[in-house]
């Protein structure tokens, strides 16, 4: 029991993170996750039938939760400027379409995005955040000083949010203290920027590990727990997201403090996105149905959301040629 | 960026998503199926009610005792004539046809079952109908292998089986009964419950379409008196009953000394035992599934929650939060989790026992989910602080009512779990495999689930101890109940 274990360890959490032994004892003492029952529950919630007005509401909500992402070695300043424009006004033909939450890019392109966004408040009345991956994304294989410098430069260039990766090598070796210390250091380096902690659940392999890593990230001060880099398969899945939603729900129950969740990678259709929203509503609770508390890390998802939105409003389906490809 | 509203949440409700009633193709009138024909019965018509609305759904012609004789004689002729002489492979072909017929008409059956029984479409669509088809597929595969799988060199069918099934899984129970009987070479006279006869009569249409020889399967309709007349009929060789323990006892008295074989699948008061080290979120799911699946109208429902004291408070908090998310309402809505109670009579019984729990001093919690104005609905209900002496901890409620009892040691859990005249189902939740196995060895229940609940498979035998009945259904043991084997001890 988190509750029982935390009570035993004393409050606040200072005690359980005092040294590696206590941290390990705490994380290993978290209740297990039964994979069969978890996957059954996730599959059963995925059969919810969301129609009519509730579908339209869900689509608009999902659009407003997108971290519109490009994380390619071949990214160019032009592509990032285009991404910013698209994020601000996803469907120019229908200006009532909400903006996305943020663009998510590599650190060296943050200045480009910042420049493209400058004054958007005045010209479009809209604003979106700049999220930057950092900490030697996606592998995280660099010295701590290098990761911290990576974060500082992204924040200085104008990033509002930092998407860091945890040291999976250390985590899988049971060196939870190292992972913890690094998140704490990165959080400090990120300053005012909100910190998303990418667990890379595809490499953690078990749901028990996902739960432990979620709690580790929450203990270390992560504002978001995020599933994946998108560079490892499997990326986000519904059952993994369930476990993470349970973690933030339990965290809030114990501390009164709300934290956010971001599944990323592999969510491509409006149908998928709505299944995630159903999970958010029924596993964590309706108070997480807000772009501040839940995001989708995605690139192609936005276009499907736009097309499904048009379908809902106009009663017929538009082909892919009517939305922009980038 | 900051949260959009004070509470950080938007108002996102699910719009109604009802399945179309027309898919169920409900007819104005249904007839019993005797000797290969749908005939007008000699009994008074009965009106079946749609429990989701509390309104009449359709009319069914019922049989009288003369019709029953006709049905049993037809079954005898079919047995002596073509059916018992057919090779197993030929019988298997017919069973495969029935299975495919169910699969082909699955949407219709799902809607019809939901209308007639009141259970949510999500359950009929994803569980009742596909599992019914699966039972026929499974037993079709057995029909030509009976001589080679441990029943002795020449297992023989018993003859004519009289079968009486309950209203909680009308189609699925028909499949459980008919599948193994036919695979083993018997013929059948089956009576569905008076409140839910429709899906069995559609199954009769599927059987007729499959060209089964007349009389191999007869579906007779009527109330408890017809059921009593059927099980007491001297023309039978075998009786199989699923239903209440009280009726089961009467049947056993009727059949004593007749030499006819009997299997009974009766009531239960399943203990769901949660240890402190359990995977708590999934244990909560299992508890919810155990007691709210089909509104708890399940003989193997996990109606007693035994929770280890150190986690009792936390588990109950989580359980209540989770139960609060269940959507109670229109059975045809695809988002409904808990549907209607099958009949006014059952609604009254649940209400009475719930009141008994309150009167006896247990703390009651009820879901705040609004209930429809019409129809027979009960809010999911949880009693905490229940003790072994209370009626709600001992009697089968057969409704969405859970009694929570605490324990401290494994021995105490065993003593409490086994302290029941029933013995159908039990479950153990622990991350420690050795503890689960040790508990399973000492729990007196026919079915024990480890870190799960309500898992059914045609290959897995199902049945009870003590007042939950005897005999097994499903798997090789279930087939043995329809066979005359050289050595009955061969298959256990």
CA dihedral B161, B167, B169, B170 (to 10 degrees): 60
Closest partner CB to A287 (pick from B8, B16, B122): B8
pLDDT in tens, B65-91: 999 999 999 999 999 989 999 999 999
User: Is B432 a residue whose pLDDT tops 60?
Assistant: yes
- Taking an 8 Å cut-off on Cβ atoms, the answer to whether B280 and A1 are in contact is yes
Predicted confidence band at B433 (pLDDT cuts at 50, 70, 90)?
A: very high
Predicted confidence band at A241 (pLDDT cuts at 50, 70, 90)?
A: very high
pLDDT in tens, B335-355: 999 999 999 999 999 999 999
- Taking an 8 Å cut-off on Cβ atoms, the answer to whether A292 and B8 are in contact is yes
Give the active site residue among B299, B300, B395, B467.
Answer: B299
pLDDT confidence of residue A14: 66
pLDDT confidence of residue A15: 82
- Taking an 8 Å cut-off on Cβ atoms, the answer to whether A3 and B276 are in contact is no
Residue A267 burial (C-beta neighbours within 10 Å; 0-12, 13-18, 19+): buried
> In the block, which residue shows the tokens 């029935």?
B98
Residues in chain A closer than 8 A to B5 (CB atoms): 290
- Taking an 8 Å cut-off on Cβ atoms, the answer to whether B279 and A33 are in contact is yes
Give yes or no: A86 in active site: no
Tokens of A139: 């592998």
pTM of the model: 0.94
Which 133-172 residues of chain B touch chain A by CB within 8 A? none
Distance from CA of A129 to the nearest CA of B (A): 8
pLDDT in tens, A81-118: 999 999 999 999 999 999 999 999 999 999 999 999 99
Predicted confidence band at A6 (pLDDT cuts at 50, 70, 90)?
A: very low
The percent of residues in chain B predicted with pLDDT above 90, rounded, is: 93
DSSP state of A282: I
- Which superfamily is assigned to B21-266+467-484 in CATH? Aldehyde Dehydrogenase; Chain A, domain 1 (3.40.605.10)
Q: How far apart are CA B39 and CA B483, in angstroms?
A: 31
Q: How far apart are CA B242 and CA B299, in angstroms?
A: 9
pLDDT confidence of residue B5: 56
Alpha carbon distances (Å) from A130 to A109, A161, A198 = 10, 6, 17
Predicted confidence band at B489 (pLDDT cuts at 50, 70, 90)?
A: very low
What are the residues whose beta carbons fall under 8 Å from the beta carbon of B441, sequence distance 6 or more? none
pLDDT confidence of residue A277: 98
Q: Is B120 on the interface with A (CB under 8 A)?
A: no
Closest partner CB to A34 (pick from B279, B325, B334): B279
The sign one gets for the Cα dihedral A3, A164, B10, A211 is: negative
pLDDT in tens, B364-410: 999 999 999 999 999 999 999 999 999 999 999 999 999 999 999 99
Predicted confidence band at A12 (pLDDT cuts at 50, 70, 90)?
A: low
Residues in chain B closer than 8 A to A292 (CB atoms): 1-4, 8
Contact B428, B275 (CB under 8 A): yes
Give the active site residue among B113, B265, B395, B473.
Answer: B265
Predicted confidence band at B487 (pLDDT cuts at 50, 70, 90)?
A: low
pLDDT confidence of residue A10: 42
Q: How far apart are CA B218 and CA B37, in angstroms?
A: 9
Tokens of A154: 């992204």
Residue from A8, A32, A131, A242 whose CB has the most chain B CBs within 10 Å, to mutate: A32
Rounded to an integer, the average pLDDT of A11-22 is 79
User: Residue A315: CA atoms inside 13 Å, Cβ hemisphere, count?
Assistant: 0
Pairing of the two strands B401-407 and B381-384: parallel
Neighbours of B258 (CB within 10 A): 13
User: Residue B309: CA atoms inside 13 Å, Cβ hemisphere, count?
Assistant: 5
DSSP state of B139: H
pLDDT confidence of residue B153: 78
Count of pairs with CB atoms under 8 A, one residue in A, one in B:
102
Rounded to an integer, the average pLDDT of A6-22 is 68
pLDDT confidence of residue A122: 75
- Taking an 8 Å cut-off on Cβ atoms, the answer to whether B279 and A289 are in contact is no
The helix or strand, by DSSP H or E, that contains position B365, with its residue range, turns out to be: strand B363-366
Q: Is B325 on the interface with A (CB under 8 A)?
A: yes
- Taking an 8 Å cut-off on Cβ atoms, the answer to whether B282 and A58 are in contact is no
Give the active site residue among A67, A91, A163, A304.
Answer: A163
pLDDT confidence of residue B296: 97
| Mean pLDDT across chain B | 95
Rounded to an integer, the average pLDDT of B403-423 is 97
- Taking an 8 Å cut-off on Cβ atoms, the answer to whether A34 and B282 are in contact is yes
User: Is A8 a residue whose pLDDT tops 70?
Assistant: no
Rounded to an integer, the average pLDDT of B57-71 is 98
pLDDT confidence of residue A13: 67
Q: Which has the closest alpha carbon to B285: A48, A206, A283, A29?
A: A283
Tokens of A282: 């029924």
Q: Which residues of A touch B (CB under 8 A)?
A: 1, 3-4, 31-34, 36-38, 40-41, 47-55, 57-58, 61, 101, 129, 160, 246, 258, 277, 281-282, 285-293
pLDDT confidence of residue A320: 82
The helix or strand, by DSSP H or E, that contains position B384, with its residue range, turns out to be: strand B381-384
Distance from CA of A35 to the nearest CA of B (A): 9
pLDDT in tens, A60-88: 999 999 999 999 999 999 999 999 999 99
Distance from CA of B304 to the nearest CA of A (A): 20
Rounded to an integer, the average pLDDT of B246-260 is 94
User: Is B490 a residue whose pLDDT tops 80?
Assistant: no
Domains of chain A: 32-322 (3.20.20.70)
Alpha carbon distances (Å) from B300 to A71, A313, B246, B393, B465 = 52, 47, 17, 15, 12
The helix or strand, by DSSP H or E, that contains position B404, with its residue range, turns out to be: strand B401-407
Quick one: residue B302, left, alpha or beta (phi over 0 = left, psi -120 to 50 = alpha)?
beta
User: Is A9 a residue whose pLDDT tops 80?
Assistant: no
Distance from CA of B288 to the nearest CA of A (A): 11
ipTM of the modeled complex: 0.92
Q: Is B452 on the interface with A (CB under 8 A)?
A: yes
Distance from CA of A290 to the nearest CA of B (A): 6
Predicted confidence band at A318 (pLDDT cuts at 50, 70, 90)?
A: confident
Predicted confidence band at B486 (pLDDT cuts at 50, 70, 90)?
A: low
Residues in chain B closer than 8 A to A33 (CB atoms): 279, 281-282
Give yes or no: B299 in active site: yes
The percent of residues in chain B predicted with pLDDT above 70, rounded, is: 97
User: Structurally, what CATH architecture does the domain formed by B271-457 represent?
Assistant: 3-Layer(aba) Sandwich (3.40)
Helix, strand, or coil (residue A317): coil
Domain boundaries defined on chain B: 21-266+467-484, 271-457
Residue from B6, B15, B432 whose CB has the most chain A CBs within 10 Å, to mutate: B15
Distance from CA of B460 to the nearest CA of A (A): 18
Q: How far apart are CA B489 and CA A40, in angstroms?
A: 38
């Amino acid at each position: 029991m988190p509750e029982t274990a935390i009570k035993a360890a004393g409050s606040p959490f200072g005690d359980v993170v005092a040294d590696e032994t206590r941290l390990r004892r705490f994380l290993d003492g978290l209740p297990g996750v039964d994979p069969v029952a978890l996957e059954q529950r996730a599959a059963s919630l995925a059969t919810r039938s969301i129609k009519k007005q509730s579908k339209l509401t869900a689509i608009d909500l999902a659009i407003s939760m997108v971290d519109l992402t490009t994380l390619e070695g071949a990214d160019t300043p032009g592509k990032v400027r285009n991404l910013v424009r698209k994020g601000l006004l996803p469907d120019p033909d229908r200006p009532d379409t909400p903006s996305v939450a943020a663009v998510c890019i590599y650190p060296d392109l943050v200045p480009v995005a910042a420049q493209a966004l400058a004054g958007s408040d005045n010209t479009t009345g809209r604003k979106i955040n700049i999220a930057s991956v950092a900490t030697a994304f996606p592998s995280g294989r660099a010295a701590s000083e290098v990761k911290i410098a990576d974060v500082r430069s992204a924040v200085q260039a104008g990033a509002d949010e930092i998407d860091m990766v945890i040291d999976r090598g250390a985590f899988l070796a049971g060196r939870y203290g190292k992972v913890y210390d690094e998140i704490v250091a990165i959080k400090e380096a990120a300053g005012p920027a909100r910190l998303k902690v990418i667990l890379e659940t595809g490499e953690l392999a078990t749901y028990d590990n996902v739960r432990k890593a979620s709690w580790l990230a929450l203990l270390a001060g992560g504002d978001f727990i995020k599933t994946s880099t998108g560079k490892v398969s499997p990326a986000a899945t519904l059952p993994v997201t369930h476990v993470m939603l349970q973690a933030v729900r339990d965290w809030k129950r114990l501390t009164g403090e709300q934290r956010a969740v971001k599944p990323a990678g592999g969510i491509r259709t409006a149908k998928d996105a709505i299944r995630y929203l159903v999970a958010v509503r029924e596993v964590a609770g309706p108070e997480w149905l807000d772009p501040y508390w839940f995001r989708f890390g995605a690139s192609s998802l936005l276009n499907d959301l736009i097309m499904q939105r048009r379908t809902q409003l106009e009663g017929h389906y538009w082909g892919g040629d009517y939305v922009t490809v980038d | 960026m900051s949260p959009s509203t004070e509470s950080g949440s938007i108002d996102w409700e699910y719009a109604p998503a009802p399945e179309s009633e027309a898919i169920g193709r409900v007819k104005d009138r249904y007839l019993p199926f005797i000797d290969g024909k749908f005939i007008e019965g000699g009994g008074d018509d009965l009106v079946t009610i749609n429990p989701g609305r509390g309104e009449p759904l359709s009319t069914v012609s019922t049989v009288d005792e003369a019709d029953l004789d006709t049905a049993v004689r037809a079954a005898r002729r079919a047995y002596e004539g073509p059916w018992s002489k057919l090779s197993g492979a030929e019988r298997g072909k017919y069973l495969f046809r029935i299975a495919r017929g169910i699969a082909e008409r699955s949407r219709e059956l799902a809607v019809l079952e939901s209308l007639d029984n009141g259970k949510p479409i999500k359950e009929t669509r994803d569980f009742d109908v596909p599992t019914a088809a699966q039972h026929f597929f499974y037993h079709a595969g057995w029909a030509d292998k009976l001589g080679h799988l441990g029943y002795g060199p020449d297992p023989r069918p018993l003859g004519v089986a009289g079968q009486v099934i309950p209203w909680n899984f009308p189609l699925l129970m028909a499949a459980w009964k008919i599948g193994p009987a036919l695979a083993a070479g018997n013929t059948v006279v089956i009576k569905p419950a008076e409140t839910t006869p429709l899906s069995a009569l559609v199954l009769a249409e599927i059987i007729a379409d499959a060209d089964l020889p007349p009389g191999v399967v007869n579906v007779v309709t009527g109330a408890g008196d017809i059921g009593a007349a059927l099980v007491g009929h001297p023309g039978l060789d075998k009786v199989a009953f699923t239903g209440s323990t009280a009726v089961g006892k009467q049947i056993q008295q009727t059949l004593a000394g007749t030499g006819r074989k009997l299997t009974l699948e009766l009531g239960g008061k399943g203990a769901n035992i949660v240890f402190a080290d359990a995977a708590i979120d999934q244990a909560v799911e299992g508890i919810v599934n155990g007691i709210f699946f089909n509104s708890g109208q399940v003989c193997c429902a996990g109606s007693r929650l035994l929770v280890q004291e150190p986690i009792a408070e936390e588990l109950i908090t989580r359980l209540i939060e989770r139960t609060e998310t269940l959507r109670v309402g229109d059975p045809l809505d695809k988002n409904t989790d808990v549907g209607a109670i099958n009949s006014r009579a059952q609604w009254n019984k649940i209400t009475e026992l719930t009141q008994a729990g309150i009167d006896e001093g247990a703390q009651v919690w009820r879901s705040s989910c609004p209930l429809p104005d019409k129809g027979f609905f009960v809010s999911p209900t949880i009693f905490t602080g229940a003790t072994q002496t209370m009626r709600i901890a001992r009697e089968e409620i057969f409704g969405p009512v859970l009694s929570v009892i605490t324990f401290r040691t494994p021995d105490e859990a065993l003593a409490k779990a086994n302290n029941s005249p029933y013995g159908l189902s039990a479950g153990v939740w622990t991350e420690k495999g050795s503890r689960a196995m040790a508990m399973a060895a000492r729990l007196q229940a026919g079915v024990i689930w480890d870190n799960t609940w309500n898992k059914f498979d045609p290959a897995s035998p199902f049945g009870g101890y003590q007042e939950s009945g005897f005999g097994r259904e499903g798997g090789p043991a279930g087939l043995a109940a329809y066979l005359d084997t050289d050595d009955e001890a061969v298959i256990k």
